[in-house]
Amino acid sequence: MDAISVIRAKRDGLALTPEQIDWVIDAYVRGEVADEQMSALAMAIFLNGMDRAEIARWTAAMIASGERMDFSKLPLPTTDKHSTGGVGDKITLPLAPLVAACGAAVPQLSGRGLGHSGGTLDKLESIPGWRASLSNDEMLDVLGSAGAVVCAAGEGLAPADRKLYALRDVTGTVESIPLIASSIMSKKIAEGTGALVLDVKVGSGAFMKTFADARELAETMVGLGTDHGVRTVALLTDMSTPLGLTAGNALEVRESVEVLAGGGPADVVELTLALAREMLDAAGLPDADPAAALADGSAMDRWRRMIAAQGGDPDAPSPTARETHTVVASRSGVLTGLDAYAVGVAAWRLGAGRARKEDPVQAAAGVELHAKPGDRVTAGAPLLTLHTDTPERFEPALAALAGDEAIRIAPSDAAEGLPGSG
Ligand code: URA
């Protein structure tokens, strides 16, 4: 077997054989297939796709490239959630302790933000002392004591994906359904969860911009999970505008704590509860009542335990940015659009995200929303507050918000009858 024949086969639109797939993944991890060869193959897959049998084999080969975790000795059912990523998507933060408070164990391996979309680990690292890297034993200890653990995937888990994802990121081959589905599902299956709920985002701030693509991605991932014995369900949810009223690390932690305290924005509470119900149902706990666990403080109690068990101080004051800048409404009317991608890019440029994997992020940087689509706004009233420690970042962030599509305000009479304009 050699890399050139595998690349040629996919370049010419053929389906790869199981032997070709097993060999190329294994040889890539061993260094026998070079990065430039894998880049060419990833581009051929991006352009010509893979059928379901190829995706299944590719995923299995990536799982087999590393270790698999095993939670079968835990006395509780395990259940996890994965979001395909977006702007202001802080749902994991209230969700993991909430589901733990309802009687399931949540072993959640999360990622960092890249580009315009935020990452759960960056958000939690804005809590002083909190550690993302845990050994497998530490992960089990936190899971045992708090019922939920959110941490980085260890080096040994799906190493083929770790290498391939970094390569795709710099070769324009991220937005491919076979490659995204196999990347996410290889990690989730290797993680060893018994049940998995996928939150597949659709809209300007998501990888999948259309409903049809999001649906195909969801069906592919559900098929992969089910074939590997993981009870997997998917929800398609909107990412055309940011979730909640914040995009940025410490800002989103603050909002998540508000949700755990029984408050928080309605869209965040609604999605958190919907995903919690799905996770509990998939874990065999359909009668659990997540709304009650939010209301009676038990979810907040799990959050405090989970943060403290990973070295964080749940009572530490939230970091605040050195500088802020307010964006005001240009006219009176109804806010008909606040584009998720534009807000995500603004938050990223303010310092909440990174351009390269090794860049540091600012804990307090980000964007705070004072209105959501459907709200009435008055000329001159605050619409957004931009937060950063480095004021030279305001200009590029404002440029991201300047396009016609970023902030749309319709005169009240023109907006009458539009969804959400009441
Ligand atoms: N998240 C992943 O883990 N992999 C992808 O390919 C895209 C999003």
171: buried, middle or exposed (CB in 10 Å: 19+, 13-18, 0-12)? middle
Residue nearest to atom 7 of ligand 1 (CA): 180
Torsion angle defined by CA atoms of residues 70, 72, 73 and 77, in that order, rounded to the nearest 10 degrees = 120
Shared domain for 250 and 378, answered yes or no, is no
Three-state DSSP state, 166: helix
What are the backbone dihedrals phi and psi of residue 181, each rounded to the nearest 5 degrees, phi first? -60, -45
Q: Look at residues 374, 268, 388 and name the one whose alpha carbon lies nearest to residue 326.
A: 388
- Which of 157, 174, 196 to mutate to test ligand 1, by most ligand atoms within 8 A of the CB atom? 174
Task: Please state whether beta strands 79-83 and 195-202 pair in parallel, antiparallel, or not at all (unpaired).
Answer: parallel
Give the position, in ligand 1's atom list, of the atom nearest the Cα of 168.
6
Q: If you ran DSSP here, which 8-state letter would residue 393 be given? A: G
d(CA 47, CA 85): 23
Shared domain for 298 and 328, answered yes or no, is no
Domain count, the chain: 3
Shared domain for 247 and 350, answered yes or no, is no
Amino acid identity of residue 155, one-letter, is E
Domain, as residue range, for 31: 3-49
- The Å distance, Cα 219 to ligand 1 centre, comes to 16
Say what the pLDDT of residue 163 is: 92
Contact in structure between 201 and 86 (CB atoms under 8 Å): yes
Kindly state whether residue 317 falls inside one of the protein's structural domains: no
Kindly state whether residue 392 falls inside one of the protein's structural domains: yes
Residue nearest to atom 5 of ligand 1 (CA): 180
Kindly state whether residue 59 falls inside one of the protein's structural domains: no
Shared domain for 180 and 293, answered yes or no, is yes
Kindly state whether residue 382 falls inside one of the protein's structural domains: yes
Q: Which residues are catalytic?
A: 82, 161, 168, 183, 187
What are the backbone dihedrals phi and psi of residue 343, each rounded to the nearest 5 degrees, phi first? -65, -40
Q: Look at residues 3, 175, 192 and name the one whose alpha carbon lies nearest to residue 79.
A: 192
- The Å distance, Cα 206 to ligand 1 centre, comes to 12
Torsion angle defined by CA atoms of residues 122, 124, 125 and 126, in that order, rounded to the nearest 10 degrees = 100
Residue 149 pairs in a beta bridge with: 107
DSSP string for 204-267: TTSSB-SHHHHHHHHHHHHHHHHHTT-EEEEEEEE-SS-STTEEEHHHHHHHHHHHHTT-S-HH
d(CA 208, CA 85): 10
Say what the pLDDT of residue 299 is: 98
Say what the pLDDT of residue 315 is: 96
CATH of the domain at 31: 1.20.970.10
Kindly state whether residue 217 falls inside one of the protein's structural domains: yes
Shared domain for 182 and 296, answered yes or no, is yes
Residue nearest to atom 3 of ligand 1 (CA): 184
d(CA 18, CA 401): 47
Amino acid identity of residue 294, one-letter, is L
Shared domain for 295 and 355, answered yes or no, is no
Kindly state whether residue 298 falls inside one of the protein's structural domains: yes
Contact in structure between 163 and 42 (CB atoms under 8 Å): no
d(CA 111, CA 18): 29
CATH of the domain at 366: 3.90.1170.30
d(CA 263, CA 312): 23
Shared domain for 219 and 111, answered yes or no, is yes
d(CA 318, CA 132): 18
Q: In this predicted complex, what is the ipTM? A: 0.97
Residue nearest to atom 1 of ligand 1 (CA): 184
- Which of 84, 173, 184, 208 to mutate to test ligand 1, by most ligand atoms within 8 A of the CB atom? 184
Shared domain for 235 and 137, answered yes or no, is yes
**Tens-of-pLDDT digits for all 422 residues of the chain?**
999 999 999 999 999 999 999 999 999 999 999 999 999 999 999 999 999 999 999 999 999 999 999 888 889 999 999 999 899 999 999 999 999 999 999 999 988 887 788 889 999 999 999 999 999 889 999 999 999 999 998 888 999 998 998 899 788 898 899 999 999 999 999 999 999 999 999 999 998 999 999 999 999 999 999 999 999 999 999 999 999 999 999 999 999 999 999 999 999 999 999 999 999 999 999 999 999 999 999 999 999 999 999 999 999 999 999 999 999 999 999 999 999 999 999 999 999 988 776 788 999 999 999 999 999 999 999 999 999 999 999 999 999 999 888 999 999 766 555 554 44
- The Å distance, Cα 86 to ligand 1 centre, comes to 12
Shared domain for 108 and 254, answered yes or no, is yes
Shared domain for 329 and 299, answered yes or no, is no
Question: pTM, whole model, 2 decimals?
Answer: 0.92
Give the position, in ligand 1's atom list, of the atom nearest the Cα of 184.
3
d(CA 62, CA 348): 30
Shared domain for 331 and 247, answered yes or no, is no
Ligand 1 neighbours by CB, cut-off 6 Å: 84-85, 165, 174, 179-180, 183-184
Shared domain for 192 and 242, answered yes or no, is yes
